[in-house]
Amino acid sequence: MNSLSIVPIGFGLWLAACGEKVAEKPVASAAPVAVSTVTAAIENWPAQYEATGTVRARTSIAIAAKLTGYVREVKAQAGDSVREGDLLVRLDTADLDVGSRRAEAARDVLRMAAPEADSGVRAAQANLDLARVTFGRMQELFQKKSISDQELDEASARLKGAQAAFDAAQARRVQLNSKIAEVDQEVRAAEIARGYAEIRAPFGGVVVSRSVDPGGLAMPGVPLMTMERAGAYRFEALVEESRLPAIRVGQAVSVTLDNVDRAIDARVSEIVPAVDAASRAYAVRIDLPALAAIRSGVFGRAAFQFGSTALLAVPAGAVTDRGQLQSVLVADAGVVRTRLITTGRRCNDRVEVLTGLSSGEKVIFPVPRELVDGARIEVLP
Kindly tell me if the per-residue pLDDT of 7 is higher than 50. no
Domains, the chain, ordered by start: 34-46+311-379 (2.40.420.20), 48-57+229-307 (2.40.30.170), 60-91+198-228 (2.40.50.100), 94-196 (1.10.287.470)
Instruction: Tell me what pLDDT residue 1 has.
Output: 37
Average pLDDT of the segment spanning 283-288: 93
Q: Is 288 helix (H, G, I), strand (E, B) or coil?
A: coil
Average pLDDT, the chain: 85
Average pLDDT of the segment spanning 345-373: 90
Q: Report the alpha-carbon distance of residue 298 to residue 292 in Å, rounded.
A: 13
Instruction: Tell me what pLDDT residue 29 has.
Output: 53
Give the CA-trace dihedral at 49, 50, 52, 53, to 10 degrees.
Answer: 70
Q: How confident is the model at residue 164 (pLDDT cuts 50, 70, 90)?
A: very high
Angle, helix 94-143 to helix 149-196, in steps of 10 degrees: 160
Instruction: Tell me what pLDDT residue 74 has.
Output: 93
Instruction: Please give the backbone phi and psi of residue 297, each rounded to the nearest 5 degrees, phi first.
Output: 95, -5
Instruction: Tell me what pLDDT residue 13 has.
Output: 35
Q: Report the alpha-carbon distance of residue 302 to residue 285 in Å, rounded.
A: 10
Q: Report the alpha-carbon distance of residue 344 to residue 47 in Å, rounded.
A: 13
Instruction: Tell me what pLDDT residue 331 has.
Output: 92
Q: Above pLDDT 70, what percent of the chain?
A: 92
Kindly tell me if the per-residue pLDDT of 304 is higher than 70. yes
Kindly tell me if the per-residue pLDDT of 140 is higher than 60. yes
Instruction: Tell me what pLDDT residue 123 has.
Output: 93
CA angle 62-68-69, nearest 5°? 105
Q: What global pTM score does this model have?
A: 0.53
Average pLDDT of the segment spanning 226-233: 86
Long-range CB contacts (< 8 A, 24+ apart) of 240-244?
A: 240/51, 240/281, 240/282, 241/275, 241/280, 241/281, 241/282, 243/49, 243/51, 243/304, 244/271, 244/282, 244/284
Average pLDDT of the segment spanning 211-228: 90
Highest mean pLDDT among 27-36, 291-300, 301-310, 324-333: 324-333
Instruction: Tell me what pLDDT residue 193 has.
Output: 84
Q: Report the alpha-carbon distance of residue 254 to residue 265 in Å, rounded.
A: 5
What's the pLDDT tens digit per position in 59-75? 889 999 988 889 999 99
Kindly tell me if the per-residue pLDDT of 2 is higher than 90. no
Residue 349: what residue type? Answer: D
Q: How confident is the model at residue 338 (pLDDT cuts 50, 70, 90)?
A: very high
Of 15-19, 43-47, 59-63, which gets the smallest average pLDDT?
15-19
Q: Report the alpha-carbon distance of residue 17 to residue 11 in Å, rounded.
A: 10
Average pLDDT of the segment spanning 91-117: 86
Average pLDDT of the segment spanning 254-272: 89
Instruction: Tell me what pLDDT residue 31 has.
Output: 85
Q: How confident is the model at residue 291 (pLDDT cuts 50, 70, 90)?
A: confident
CA 286 distance to own-chain centroid: 13
Instruction: Tell me what pLDDT residue 295 has.
Output: 83
Q: How confident is the model at residue 20 (pLDDT cuts 50, 70, 90)?
A: very low
Cβ atoms of 305 and 47 within 8 Å: the answer is: yes
